[in-house]
Amino acid sequence: MAGIVSYGAYMPYYRLPRNVINAAWGRGGGRGEKAVAGFDEDSITMSVAAGLDCLKETDPKTVDALFLATTTAPYKERNNSTIVATALDFRRDARNADFANCLRAGTAALFSALDAVKAGSLKSVVVTAADMRLGGAAGEDEQALGDGAAALLIGDGRVAVEIEGSYTLSDDLVDYWRSHEDNFVRHWEDRFGRDAGYMKIPVEAAKGVMAKLNITQKDIAKLCLYGANVRAQQTLAKRMGFEDSQIQNPLLDIVGNTGAAQPLMTLVAALEEAKAGDRILLVSYGNGSDAIVFKVTPEIEKIRDRRGIKRHLEIKRTLDNYGRYLRWRNMVSLPPFNVPPGAPASPAAQWREHSSALPLYGVKCKKCGTPQLFLSGSSTRAHVCVECLAKDEFEPYRFADKRGKVASFSHDYLTGGIDPPVTATVVDFEGGGRGEFDMVDRQPDECKVGMEVEMTFRKMRYTYGTHTYFWKCKPVRD
């Protein structure tokens, strides 16, 4: 039976307290905080992070496709999912696709993955859902919207979670939208969206799936809802006939509304607590509603070692500087850097390296066994062994999944960038090999020679309409 074989999630390290935002605008109060992606993160990098968590015990070469869901894809024309699949080291014949432009993109991608696996055309699919919708400065969305990602591995056979059934309603009800001209989400009058949309359509979908499966509210252990605030979710749950206690905590106070990622992130949070036999009802919302009933199997116990939602909630740092956040989001005008801009990155040079640089492959010498990561800036491909000088006697060796220790570092205040200082770091990998990377999600004061770091996929620079993606390192925090 097709179902969920593994899950993972990602939440950015920084949390922006709502009272910090309010204080910047001369307002008091503000409840909780929201997770904010770093200056070098986007929906692609967060999808990679969630994917890494999800694929902890899975060889990525065995996965047949990557379906990426987001309303904040960095590219309109360029397959966002293929960047994620390449970074995660999928096969070149993986069938990747972007699911976009709707808050139900996560559940839409999940349906397609399940259908393909059920039909037997794909054996396994990773679904990632990530979002980082931007709220305009001083507005309500700035308070509400948070950043994050979830990933599900869909497969066949001994699944951890079965999908019992689903019910979908499509409805072009325009309550929230962004056109190609909009940086920020637009809303129609809130009461229209609430009364004609949010409080109605998910109720029909939830009741639809329960009727289809001939189950009642009592058969459901947890209810995972999309929704902008806790009170609205409680009202919605009540209309569906559920008790407050059945609602899975949607993390709105501590993470924020993560858009297309929210339904799957909430599902992952529910799965972390679920026991074999539990039924979970997930209801997404956005131009309609998808309601899906999951049933947890005993296999769930085998996939407990994830950062998921719970551990990511603890890996955090308060961002108490609203100006820094605005700078990350390019929402303030900065003085021009006093270093001339670099030449645009060449797509040809990036393409030449993408099979090694994006999944972070080095090589291992077949003669002397030395792992080595050759990073000259313009190439990741070595020809002559650094140890025994054998020529072209290498086999591929991946570094993205290796941890390492800091051999040296410096906090560079001169190079500038969006979030100075840049912590240039030389990493000695466990098992051998060394590379130089920027370190992120670190406090300058905590950096020490010998500290343990792991790899994280990030944006490097943006020229001529394309991002250069590569790996950085960050402290291991669990």
Partner 1 sequence: MPGSIKDRVAIAGMGCTHFGERWDANTADLLVDAAYQAFEDAGIEPGDVQAAWVGTQNSGMTGMTLSEPLRLPYIPITRVENACATASDAFRNASYAVAAGIYDIVLAIGVDKFKDSGISGLTDGSTPGPSHAMGSVGMPPRSFAMLATTYFARYGLSYEEGKHMICRVSWKSHVNGARNRNAHFQREVPLETMINAPMIAWPLGLYDCCGVSDGSAAAIITTPEIAKSLRKGKEPPVFVKAVQIAMSPRDGNYNAKFDYTHVETTVRAASAAYKEAGITNPREQISMAEAHDCFSITEAVTMEDLGFSPRGKVRDDIESGFFDLDGKLPIQTDGGLKCFGHPVGASGIRMLYEMYLQLQGRADKLLNPGMPSRQVKNPKLGLTHNLGGRPDGCAIFVGIIGLEGA
Residue 452 interacting with partner 1 (CB under 8 A) = no
Least gap, CB of 14 to partner 1 (angstroms):
20
Cβ proximity of 14 and 316 under 8 Å:
yes
Give the per-residue contact string, 431-450, with partner 1 (x = CB under 8 A; - = no): -xxxxxxx-----x---xxx
Rounded to whole angstroms, the Cα distance separating 148 from 125 reads: 20
Cβ proximity of 386 and 368 under 8 Å:
no
Length of the chain: 478
CB nearer partner 1, residue 183 or residue 408 = 408
Least gap, CB of 74 to partner 1 (angstroms):
17
Rounded to whole angstroms, the Cα distance separating 54 from 155 reads: 13
Cβ proximity of 136 and 114 under 8 Å:
no
Rounded to whole angstroms, the Cα distance separating 141 from 146 reads: 9
CB nearer partner 1, residue 212 or residue 411 = 411
Rounded to whole angstroms, the Cα distance separating 476 from 473 reads: 9
Number of residues that bind partner 1 (CB under 8 A): 56
Residue 86 interacting with partner 1 (CB under 8 A) = no
Cβ proximity of 425 and 436 under 8 Å:
yes
Determine which helix (DSSP H) or strand (DSSP E) holds 193, and give its type and residue range.
none
Which one of 3-11, 16-24, 59-67, 407-415 is the stretch in contact with partner 1 (CB under 8 A)? 407-415
Residue 341 interacting with partner 1 (CB under 8 A) = yes
Which one of 47-55, 161-169, 205-213, 335-343 is the stretch in contact with partner 1 (CB under 8 A)? 335-343
Q: Which of 386, 452, 454, 466 binds partner 1 (CB under 8 A)?
A: 386
Helix spans in 129-255 (H): 140-144, 190-192, 201-213, 230-240
Q: Which of 137, 230, 313, 424 binds partner 1 (CB under 8 A)?
A: 424
CB nearer partner 1, residue 286 or residue 362 = 362
Cβ proximity of 134 and 183 under 8 Å:
yes
Least gap, CB of 427 to partner 1 (angstroms):
10
CB nearer partner 1, residue 120 or residue 341 = 341
**Angle at alpha carbon of residue 393, lines to 392 and 399, rounded to 5°:** 95
CB nearer partner 1, residue 277 or residue 420 = 420
Cβ proximity of 103 and 176 under 8 Å:
yes
Q: Which of 123, 352, 403, 477 binds partner 1 (CB under 8 A)?
A: 352
Determine which helix (DSSP H) or strand (DSSP E) holds 137, and give its type and residue range.
none
Least gap, CB of 51 to partner 1 (angstroms):
19
Residue 421 interacting with partner 1 (CB under 8 A) = yes
HEC string for 12-56: CCEEEEHHHHHHHCCCCCCCCEEEECCCCCCHHHHHHHHHHHHCC
CB nearer partner 1, residue 325 or residue 457 = 457
Residue type for position 17: P
Residue 3 phi/psi, 5-degree rounding, is -175, -165
Least gap, CB of 43 to partner 1 (angstroms):
20
Rounded to whole angstroms, the Cα distance separating 377 from 358 reads: 13
Give residues 23-52 in contact with partner 1 (rule: CB under 8 A): none
Rounded to whole angstroms, the Cα distance separating 168 from 293 reads: 12
Tokens (6 digits) for 428: 């000695």
CB nearer partner 1, residue 87 or residue 220 = 87
Least gap, CB of 378 to partner 1 (angstroms):
4
Which one of 238-246, 251-259, 267-275, 425-433 is the stretch in contact with partner 1 (CB under 8 A)? 425-433
Rounded to whole angstroms, the Cα distance separating 393 from 366 reads: 6
Q: Which of 344, 366, 383, 391 binds partner 1 (CB under 8 A)?
A: 344
Cα 457 versus chain centre, distance: 11
Q: Which of 244, 378, 383, 392 binds partner 1 (CB under 8 A)?
A: 378
Least gap, CB of 370 to partner 1 (angstroms):
9
CB nearer partner 1, residue 23 or residue 407 = 407
> DSSP states of 226-253 as a string?
--SSHHHHHHHHHHHT--GGGBPP--TT
Residue 397 interacting with partner 1 (CB under 8 A) = no
- Interacting residue ranges for partner 1, rule: CB under 8 A: 338-346, 349-350, 352-353, 357, 372-380, 386-387, 407-415, 421-422, 424, 426, 428, 432-438, 444, 448-450, 460-461, 468, 470-472
